[in-house]
Amino acid sequence: MLKTHNCGELRSDHAGQQVTLAGWVHRRRDQGGLIFIDLRDRWGITQIVVDKATNPDAHSVADSARSEYVIQVTGAVRQRPAGAENTDLPTGGIEIVGTDITILNASKTPPFPINREDFVDDESKMAYRYLYLRRPEMQSNIVLRHRVVKFMRDYLDKRGFVEVETPILFKTTPEGARDFLVPSRLNPGQFYALPQSPQQLKQLLMVAGYERYFQIARCFRDEDLRGDRQPEFTQLDLEMSFVQRDDVMAMIEGLMTAIVREVAGREPKWTPFPRIKYEDAMEKYGSDKPDLRYELAAVDITELAGKTGFPIFVNNVAAGKPVKVLRAPKMGLRSGMALRKLAEELEALARSAGAKGLAWLALPETEEGEVKGPIGKYFTVDQKLELFAQTAAEPGDLLLFISDERDTVYRIVDTLRRHLAQELNLIDPEVLAFAWIIDFPEFYWNEEEKRWDPSQHLFTMPMPEDLHLLDTDPGKARGSQYDLACNGYEVAGGSIRIHDRAIQEKIFPLIGLTLEQAKEQFGHMLEAFEFGTPPHGGLASGVDRLVMVLAGEKNIREVIAFPKTQQGADIMANAPSEPEPRQLEELHIRVVHPEPKKQP
């Protein structure tokens, strides 16, 4: 090794020892006869001091070193003089008196500072990924990720799970996204699909008798990217045989609680994790992955609203549309102008989520005062009192009214709720609020295609008591799906699977597949179901997203070493890029440019 110790390791009791350290010049301060270098490696920072009077050669090398140079330093560990200790650094009690310094590699001036948390634009973060990854915050995210994954492996290994790798070159594995296709050179005109998840393969491992499988699996979904999505991402994928819904949920709840306690050194907001029915989550929070660090639940006032004199409510209620209220505590305590401006801003936000407007009402500061807001006049005194009772409103609160098609109401509630929580400072970044969402519908109606879409995927078993609804009223059937939400993100999802060919065959026509198409795509599954398939179920947890939540990051890219941009590109390595014509020929592919590329 080119070093005897790392830069986070030395303490006062090493004083007097001769050591060699190697790393990056984090900071250099030239004080004439003395040069101080903060030397950084993955484990920390150690101060080096070089004295011109006693070590002129080392001093002249130190003099030429610049930020991010890679150097090797030999010298003695010295207790820092009293008053010169740096209590911010674990190594801050000592320094190394550098007697021999070698520059192992020079560095150009980096495009952004590594030694400060300054803002870095997205493009530079990606183009110089290896420099961005050098930043201590990023190193700590990547190490956290390593710890989480290692913990998962150990935890599951102790409980009898076997890690099995499944192929990346495979066949379409529908999870509701577009596939990435890979042309097969050996089979002209044919393509592999990269797995959207190992769903079929893990089920086949259950047929194969493995009983407890897991994999840290890479999944590929060609969809539009957002802050919490990447085209390729990592799942903890898991499947168990001879289980019911509660068994899988208990296994994952145990794992997540242990990760929070033992890896993150924190405590979940609550254990056991609450279980919320999908319908209740949508009705109260407008989301199937609600952020429960705060409550801010919508209150349904449909019945009351229908009796008021406000024509929009009355008409909507008559047409079967709900009316809901979000109560923003003390947000009504603003002067007339400021209140109207706030209402306009909130209305603009609601409109971005599909609202046609946003009615509001502000309660006065004292009981004698008048309510403010355009719709107060449509409520009788008794109706106002009833409204305040139903919404538990207090003086100074702002009530926001949302009424539209049910799905639109959900979207607006979700959008306003997240915004209000920020504005009202209700989010404690230290809190991790996990909750299970259960009793999803088995299907959603796809109006465009006039068919049902599976709400999870086509292998999800309907709840046993709802099986008969597949024949009569599929929209009412609940699936055995369970999702785990944490702080507004879905961090895991799974279900008990269909293990019976006859039930599986009932799903296909409902989702618009003929039996022939289904056999072509999933014939291997149907056939496997005829060879002694155990009842089974499982789940997958997005590792990137989970680590993002644990690290308190808002963008998934901050916990992925080499992520893609919003356009799905790696601008460091320039991928995707055009292949050589010869490669295309071998693959029997001709590219039809929508517009021929202009030659420079």
Among 40, 538, 544, 550, binds ligand ASP (CB under 6 A): 538
Instruction: Locate 449 and state its tokens.
Output: 């295609």
Please work out the total of residues on this chain that contact ligand ASP, with binding judged by CB under 6 A.
10
Among 540, 543, 547, 556, binds ligand ASP (CB under 6 A): 540
Judged by CB under 6 A, does residue 23 bind ligand ASP?
no
Query: Least distance from C-beta 217 to ligand ASP, angstroms?
Result: 9
Radius of gyration of the chain measured on its C-alpha atoms: 30
Q: Give the pairing of strands 275-277 and 299-300.
A: unpaired
Query: Least distance from C-beta 196 to ligand ASP, angstroms?
Result: 7
* Concatenated DSSP letters of 225-290: --TT--SEEEEEEEEEES--HHHHHHHHHHHHHHIIIIIS----SSSSPPEEEHHHHHHHHSSSS-
User: Hey, which residues between 174 and 213 contact ligand ASP (CB under 6 A)?
Assistant: 175, 197, 199
- In this chain, which stretch among 254-262, 409-417, 535-543, 586-594 interacts with ligand ASP, using CB under 6 A? 535-543
Nearer to ligand ASP, 233 or 273 (CB): 233
Among 493, 508, 529, 550, binds ligand ASP (CB under 6 A): 493
Nearer to ligand ASP, 239 or 466 (CB): 239
Identify whether the C-beta of residue 107 lies closer than 8 Å to the C-beta of residue 129.
no
Judged by CB under 6 A, does residue 304 bind ligand ASP?
no
Nearer to ligand ASP, 486 or 540 (CB): 540
User: Hey, which residues between 220 and 249 contact ligand ASP (CB under 6 A)?
Assistant: 235
Nearer to ligand ASP, 412 or 485 (CB): 485
Nearer to ligand ASP, 201 or 398 (CB): 201
Query: Least distance from C-beta 36 to ligand ASP, angstroms?
Result: 52
Judged by CB under 6 A, does residue 495 bind ligand ASP?
yes
Identify whether the C-beta of residue 576 lies closer than 8 Å to the C-beta of residue 569.
yes
- Nearest-CA neighbor of 421 among 553, 598, 290? 290
Q: How far is CA 578 from the centre of its chain?
A: 31
- In this chain, which stretch among 24-32, 355-363, 514-522, 534-542 interacts with ligand ASP, using CB under 6 A? 534-542
Query: Least distance from C-beta 493 to ligand ASP, angstroms?
Result: 5
User: Hey, which residues between 282 and 301 contact ligand ASP (CB under 6 A)?
Assistant: none
Query: Least distance from C-beta 199 to ligand ASP, angstroms?
Result: 4
Q: Which helix (H) or strand (E) holds 408?
A: helix 406-423
What is the C-alpha separation between 161 and 215, in angstroms, rounded?
9
Nearer to ligand ASP, 460 or 487 (CB): 460
Tokens 């393969």, residue located: 201
Judged by CB under 6 A, does residue 539 bind ligand ASP?
yes
Nearer to ligand ASP, 197 or 403 (CB): 197
Query: Least distance from C-beta 176 to ligand ASP, angstroms?
Result: 9
The contact mask relative to ligand ASP for 76-115 (x = CB under 6 A, - = no) is ----------------------------------------
Q: Give the pairing of strands 70-79 and 181-183.
A: unpaired
Nearer to ligand ASP, 415 or 456 (CB): 456
Query: Least distance from C-beta 538 to ligand ASP, angstroms?
Result: 5
Instruction: Locate 215 and state its tokens.
Output: 């994999």
Judged by CB under 6 A, does residue 488 bind ligand ASP?
no
Residues facing residue 45 across a β-bridge: 40
Residues facing residue 325 across a β-bridge: 299, 401
Q: Convert 82-96 to b/e letters by CB count within 10 Å (16 or more is b).
A: eeeeeeebebbbbbb
Helix (H, G, I), strand (E, B) or coil at 577: coil
Query: Least distance from C-beta 541 to ligand ASP, angstroms?
Result: 9
Nearer to ligand ASP, 255 or 540 (CB): 540
- Nearest-CA neighbor of 540 among 586, 490, 590? 490
Judged by CB under 6 A, does residue 494 bind ligand ASP?
yes
* Concatenated DSSP letters of 10-73: --GGGTT-EEEEEEEEEEEEEETTEEEEEEEETTEEEEEEEETTT-HHHHHHHHH--TT-EEEE
Query: Least distance from C-beta 460 to ligand ASP, angstroms?
Result: 7
DSSP 409: H
- In this chain, which stretch among 78-86, 89-97, 280-288, 537-545 interacts with ligand ASP, using CB under 6 A? 537-545
Identify whether the C-beta of residue 218 lies closer than 8 Å to the C-beta of residue 168.
yes
372-379, Cβ contacts within 8 angstroms, sequence gap of 24 or more:
372/332, 372/336, 372/339, 373/343, 373/399, 375/310, 375/401, 377/309, 378/308, 378/309, 378/310, 378/313, 379/308, 379/309, 379/310
Helix (H, G, I), strand (E, B) or coil at 328: strand
Query: Least distance from C-beta 225 to ligand ASP, angstroms?
Result: 17
- In this chain, which stretch among 156-164, 186-194, 406-414, 488-496 interacts with ligand ASP, using CB under 6 A? 488-496
Instruction: Locate 575 and state its tokens.
Output: 């991928």
What is the contact surface with ligand ASP in residues (CB under 6 A)?
175, 197, 199, 235, 493-495, 538-540
